[in-house]
Amino acid sequence: MNKLLNIAQVKLAVIGKFLLISVFMASIVACVPSQQTGTSYSRDEARVVQNVKLGTIIDATPVMIEGTKSGIGGVLGGVVGGLAGSTIDDGATADIAAVIVGAAGAAAGAKAESALTKAQGMEYTIK
């Protein structure tokens, strides 16, 4: 009976660590700056008319609308990475591996979310 109790306690401790690591990774990923250039726009800037005037279109430039950064990709990547890292070894090494692989998973998940949700748009210059 004590062995079953110890296994349950270990499982709860592992789940707690993964939740803590996931929250930590999500907070780190949220601090990553956007990669906007002269031809990229945030989702908040897209579909917003800057100034309304009648005229003729003199230039149309393709632009990239950056993807979402909801944090879901980072959290999922951190959880999957943490789980994968914890299976590398037993003991203290597993904890260290879980943190390192979890951090890498969070970064990869955030990048994947942004890349999968970006969209092509057009910027018009009107005279």
Question: Which amino acid makes up residue 29?
Answer: V
**Mean pLDDT in residue range 65-73:** 81
Local structure of 59: helix, strand or coil: strand
Q: What's the CA gap between 54 and 71, in Å, rounded?
A: 40
pLDDT at 58: 93
53 vs 79, residue with greater confidence? 79
pLDDT of residue 59: 92
Alpha-helical regions (H) of 1-127: 2-29, 72-86, 92-117
Most confident of 22-36, 40-54, 87-101, 111-125: 111-125
Answer with the residue of higher pLDDT: 106 or 19. Answer: 106
List the one residue out of 67, 69, 68 whose CA is nearest residue 27. 69
Domain ranges within the chain, ordered by starting residue = 2-30+55-126
Residue 31 vs residue 93, higher pLDDT: 93
Tell me the pTM.
0.51
